[in-house]
């Protein structure tokens, strides 16, 4: 029996993809492309979960550890090069520049980059004079050099997910929004009955692409997936004149400029663990409790970003989002069939933006052929999860 998928399905199986974030939309597209009858089910609107409140940096940088996960991330970056052309998704390529304020951390970056090179990345350290040529609108006075990872890119994740879902629909997929899957019951015929807020749906297989919704794997597939989730604030400005060519990962803030001119800011550190913050974040809000707090937070991030990109100081803020990361406890993706539920398949991960096109492809392949994809062997849901605490 193949580890990833217990049996090959009939020519046009009906597969439900639960969760309409960037991962679910990509899986729905790749399944539909492979000949499945697909129903994509999202409890809210498409791409309103982590795939909305994300920095959306496509990368396989030093943080992707260990080696097999780095390789998987490299495949993710490569798959974006395919999908951007296949579906005409705008991707801002150009690479990333990263540096740290602390001398110790900057020293560590040097050895991280050596490892990157050994692992086949064209990354390198670049001296300040060259950095100033690459990004003339960035103030590099706080550093003498930075890591340049030329393969990296960034997307508008909501647009990308929407394009994938639209392409799936073009291949016959049914998209159900505002529809929540409550439970899944195996029928004697081998089919599964999904009980949803909009009625029952009989399907052959179902994929959980439910992101940070902890407990959903237990509820829908009877498997305990140790997951946690941490918040991060994303600020999006109104379109600006061209300021940045690359992703800038500076001390305290991550910055990139989309092709539509909007600047995206991501905070580097999470919320301080004060009692007030813990209470405010308890229900996992996606928005600040009031406009004044949202504005204050955005201004704080803009001020930090303004020290790195001085032309940014007066940008008008359009959106302030609290994103919640889907974090399997050991930091690695969870992808594969659920051993005790023949019809269930799980695809939950951080760095889902970087990975979505590749994951969509390999998940569709496993489900449609019943053959295990060897690159997924370290990500199976039945593995033992060790806590890493990354992010």
Q: Name the residue with tokens 């990333």.
A: 96
Binding of ligand FAD at residue 158 (CB under 6 A)?
A: no
Binding of ligand FAD at residue 48 (CB under 6 A)?
A: yes
Q: Which of 68, 81, 166, 180 binds ligand FAD (CB under 6 A)?
A: 180
Taking the complex as a whole, how short is the minimal distance between the CB of residue 109 and ligand FAD, in angstroms? 18
Contact between 165 and 175 (Cβ < 8 Å): yes
Q: Which of 163, 209, 255, 368 binds ligand FAD (CB under 6 A)?
A: 209
Q: What's the token pair of residue 98?
A: 């990263």
Q: Which of 4, 9, 15, 24 binds ligand FAD (CB under 6 A)?
A: 24
Nearest to ligand FAD of 130, 146 (CB atom): 146
Nearest to ligand FAD of 353, 371 (CB atom): 353
Residues 52-111 binding ligand FAD (CB under 6 A) are 53-57
Q: Which of 41, 221, 302, 309 binds ligand FAD (CB under 6 A)?
A: 41
Q: What is the dihedral of CA 154, 156, 158, 162, to 10 degrees?
A: -100
How far, in Å, CA of 251 to CA of 355, rounded? 25
DSSP per position, 371-390 = ---GGGGGG-TTSPPPP---
- Beta partners for residue 205, in sequence order: 15
Q: Which of 96, 149, 210, 227 binds ligand FAD (CB under 6 A)?
A: 210
Binding of ligand FAD at residue 51 (CB under 6 A)?
A: yes
Taking the complex as a whole, how short is the minimal distance between the CB of residue 271 and ligand FAD, in angstroms? 11
Contact between 183 and 219 (Cβ < 8 Å): yes
Q: How many residues bind ligand FAD (CB under 6 A)?
A: 41
Contacts of 119 (CB under 8 A, 6+ apart): 67, 70, 71
Taking the complex as a whole, how short is the minimal distance between the CB of residue 76 and ligand FAD, in angstroms? 8
Taking the complex as a whole, how short is the minimal distance between the CB of residue 358 and ligand FAD, in angstroms? 11
Query: Residue number with the shortest CB distance to ligand FAD?
Result: 21
Taking the complex as a whole, how short is the minimal distance between the CB of residue 23 and ligand FAD, in angstroms? 3
- Beta partners for residue 250, in sequence order: 253
Q: Which of 50, 126, 294, 368 binds ligand FAD (CB under 6 A)?
A: 50
Neighbours of 111 (CB within 10 A): 10
Nearest to ligand FAD of 263, 353 (CB atom): 353
Contact between 230 and 391 (Cβ < 8 Å): yes
Contacts of 255 (CB under 8 A, 6+ apart): 244, 247, 248, 263, 264, 265, 266, 305, 308, 309, 312
Binding of ligand FAD at residue 22 (CB under 6 A)?
A: yes
Pick from 346, 342, 379: which is nearest to 6 by CA?
Answer: 342
Residues 251-270 binding ligand FAD (CB under 6 A) are 266
In angstroms, the Cα distances linking 54 to 18, 102, 223, 351 are: 20, 26, 27, 9
Taking the complex as a whole, how short is the minimal distance between the CB of residue 42 and ligand FAD, in angstroms? 5
Binding of ligand FAD at residue 213 (CB under 6 A)?
A: yes
Residues 323-362 binding ligand FAD (CB under 6 A) are 323-326, 349-354
Binding of ligand FAD at residue 43 (CB under 6 A)?
A: yes
How far, in Å, CA of 336 to CA of 155, rounded? 26
Nearest to ligand FAD of 109, 158 (CB atom): 158
- Could you list the residues that contact ligand FAD (CB under 6 A)? 18-24, 41-44, 48-51, 53-57, 180-181, 209-213, 216, 232, 234, 266, 323-326, 349-354
């Amino acid at each position: 029996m193949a580890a990833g998928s217990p049996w090959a399905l009939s020519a046009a199986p009906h597969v439900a993809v639960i969760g309409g974030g960037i991962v679910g939309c990509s899986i729905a597209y790749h399944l539909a492309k492979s000949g499945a009858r697909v129903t994509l089910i999202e409890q809210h609107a498409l791409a309103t979960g982590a795939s909305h409140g994300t920095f959306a940096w496509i990368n396989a940088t030093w943080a992707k550890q260990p080696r097999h996960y780095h390789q998987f991330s490299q495949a993710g970056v490569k798959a974006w090069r395919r999908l951007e052309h296949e579906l005409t998704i705008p991707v801002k390529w150009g690479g990333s520049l990263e540096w740290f304020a602390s001398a110790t951390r900057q020293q560590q970056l040097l050895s991280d980059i050596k490892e990157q090179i050994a692992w086949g990345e064209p990354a390198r350290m670049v001296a300040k004079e060259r950095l100033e040529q690459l990004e003339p609108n960035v103030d590099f006075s706080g550093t003498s050099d930075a890591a340049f990872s030329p393969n990296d890119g960034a997307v508008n994740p909501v647009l990308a997910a929407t394009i994938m879902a639209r392409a799936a629909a073009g291949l016959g997929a049914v998209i159900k929004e505002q529809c929540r899957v409550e439970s899944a019951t195996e029928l004697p015929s081998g089919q599964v009955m999904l009980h949803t807020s909009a009625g029952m749906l009989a399907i052959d297989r179902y994929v959980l692409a439910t992101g940070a919704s902890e407990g959903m794997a237990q509820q829908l597939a009877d498997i305990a997936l140790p997951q946690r989730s941490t918040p991060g604030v994303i600020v999006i400005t109104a379109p600006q004149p061209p300021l940045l060519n690359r992703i800038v990962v500076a001390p305290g803030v991550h910055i990139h400029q989309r092709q539509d001119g909007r600047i995206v800011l991501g905070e580097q550190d999470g919320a301080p663990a004060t009692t007030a913050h813990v209470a405010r974040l308890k229900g996992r809000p996606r928005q600040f409790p009031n406009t004044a707090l949202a504005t204050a937070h955005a201004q704080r991030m803009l001020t930090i970003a303004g020290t790195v990109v001085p032309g940014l100081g007066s940008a008008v803020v359009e959106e302030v989002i609290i994103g919640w990361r889907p974090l399997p406890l050991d930091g690695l993706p969870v992808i594969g069939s659920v051993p005790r539920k023949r019809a269930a398949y799980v695809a939950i991960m951080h760095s889902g933006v970087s990975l979505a096109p590749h994951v969509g492809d390999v998940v569709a392949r496993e489900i449609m052929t019943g053959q295990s994809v060897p690159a997924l062997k370290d990500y199976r849901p039945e593995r033992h999860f060790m806590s890493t605490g990354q992010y």
